[in-house]
């Protein structure tokens, strides 16, 4: 595409391409034919904060991204330290978070690729952006990486608020760690997706792709073939599992939306519960005693009430 732009100019150029492609689609649309919803939205609607419309590409402020990254790292260090989380459990937690985010990215992607969801409030704009990515696959490389990860930030705050309630405002320390890890994984997911489109991907990215830690160019290309119903996961390791789910329930719009919303609220809670059970079953009484620091410590209240346990392994 000749010259490479960055920052706001890259965003402006992408929006010009949207206009051009929309005009082409209008010109090709014959009498009595219905224009695709992605073009129709650009023509007839302006995004008003609730309902989807143009512009598709937006330059994102960087400060919230830095704040989220710093906050997530601090939460992980603070909570792991407070609960004396042993390193092997920390490593298991990171691996769980990685797998979980990949699976979640697949669910999110199925929901946002559904053209019917463009007409829904709030989520419609994200769906419109996702579907324009099929029309302009290089958009993710053409714009700055900070704008690519900045696209996620609007969603972070409501999800964080819901998670805060479920984690009893940080008293479920393990869940807080999982939530913080998920935020970092979300940025990594954007990186993985971007590198799958990046013809100038560096050696390290190529290594991660070859080793299977990030989705390969080939696998992600499969998603870009119409009708865009393969390889939804952005990191790629969970694609087979997600494909099974998609075969079973591919076109149930509200089933995917409901799964997506419930997943946003409860995934970290479920992960922390699984890790707790694992620790209880593996850990000797001694080690459990050492890292939970006593019965009166901040018991994850949901976990405590659901499992009926008075002593929680990961409370500090």
Contacts with Zn ion by CB under 5 A lie at 113, 228
Nearer Cβ to Zn ion, position 62 or 228? 228
| CA–CA distances in Å: residue 192 to residues 101, 159, 186, 212, 215 | 12, 22, 10, 11, 6
- State in angstroms the smallest separation of the CB of 294 from Zn ion: 49
CB atoms inside a 10 Å sphere around CB 192 = 24
Give the DSSP letter of residue 36: P
Nearer Cβ to Zn ion, position 54 or 228? 228
Q: Which residue is nearest to Zn ion (CB)?
A: 113
- State in angstroms the smallest separation of the CB of 221 from Zn ion: 9
* E strand or H helix that includes residue 133: helix 123-135
Backbone angles phi, psi at 54, to 5 degrees: -75, 155
Nearer Cβ to Zn ion, position 40 or 228? 228
- State in angstroms the smallest separation of the CB of 196 from Zn ion: 6
Nearer Cβ to Zn ion, position 113 or 195? 113
- State in angstroms the smallest separation of the CB of 194 from Zn ion: 9
Q: Do residues 239 and 233 make contact, with C-beta atoms less than 8 angstroms apart?
A: yes
| CA–CA distances in Å: residue 279 to residues 89, 90, 93, 174, 314 | 8, 11, 11, 12, 9
Nearer Cβ to Zn ion, position 187 or 314? 187
Rounded to the nearest 10 degrees, how much is the dihedral formed by the CA atoms of 128, 132, 134, 137? -140
Sequence-distant (6+) residues with CB within 8 A of 291 are: 83, 84, 85, 86, 313, 314, 316
- State in angstroms the smallest separation of the CB of 84 from Zn ion: 41
Nearer Cβ to Zn ion, position 19 or 229? 229
- State in angstroms the smallest separation of the CB of 52 from Zn ion: 16
Nearest Cα residue to 190 out of 119, 108, 267, 70: 108
């Amino acid at each position: 595409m000749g010259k490479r732009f960055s920052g706001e100019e890259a965003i402006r150029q992408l929006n010009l391409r949207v206009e051009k492609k929309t005009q082409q689609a209008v010109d090709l649309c014959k009498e009595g034919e219905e224009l695709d919803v992605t073009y129709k939205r650009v023509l007839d609607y302006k995004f008003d904060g609730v309902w989807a419309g143009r512009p598709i590409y937006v330059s994102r402020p960087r400060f919230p991204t830095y704040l989220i990254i710093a906050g997530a790292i601090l939460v992980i260090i603070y909570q792991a330290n407070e609960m004396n989380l042993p390193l092997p459990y920390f490593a298991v937690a990171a691996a769980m978070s990685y797998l979980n985010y990949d699976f979640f990215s697949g669910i999110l992607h199925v929901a946002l690729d559904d053209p019917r969801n463009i007409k829904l409030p709030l989520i419609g704009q994200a769906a419109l952006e996702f579907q324009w990515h099929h029309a302009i696959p290089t958009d993710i490389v053409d714009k700055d990486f900070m704008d690519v990860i900045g696209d996620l930030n609007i969603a972070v705050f409501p999800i964080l608020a819901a998670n805060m309630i479920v984690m009893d405002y940080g008293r479920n320390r393990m869940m807080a760690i999982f939530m913080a890890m998920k935020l970092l994984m979300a940025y990594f997911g954007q990186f993985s997706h971007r590198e799958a489109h990046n013809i100038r991907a560096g050696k390290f990215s190529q290594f991660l792709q070859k080793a299977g830690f990030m989705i390969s160019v080939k696998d992600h290309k499969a998603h870009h073939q119409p009708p865009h119903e393969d390889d939804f996961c952005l990191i790629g390791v969970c694609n087979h599992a997600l494909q099974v789910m998609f075969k079973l329930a591919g076109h149930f719009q509200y089933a995917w939306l409901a799964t997506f919303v419930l997943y946003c609220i409860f995934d970290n809670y479920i992960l922390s519960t699984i890790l707790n059970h694992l620790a209880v079953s593996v850990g000797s009484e001694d080690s459990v005693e050492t890292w939970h620091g006593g019965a009166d410590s901040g018991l994850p209240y949901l976990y405590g009430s659901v499992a009926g346990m008075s002593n929680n392994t990961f409370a500090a």
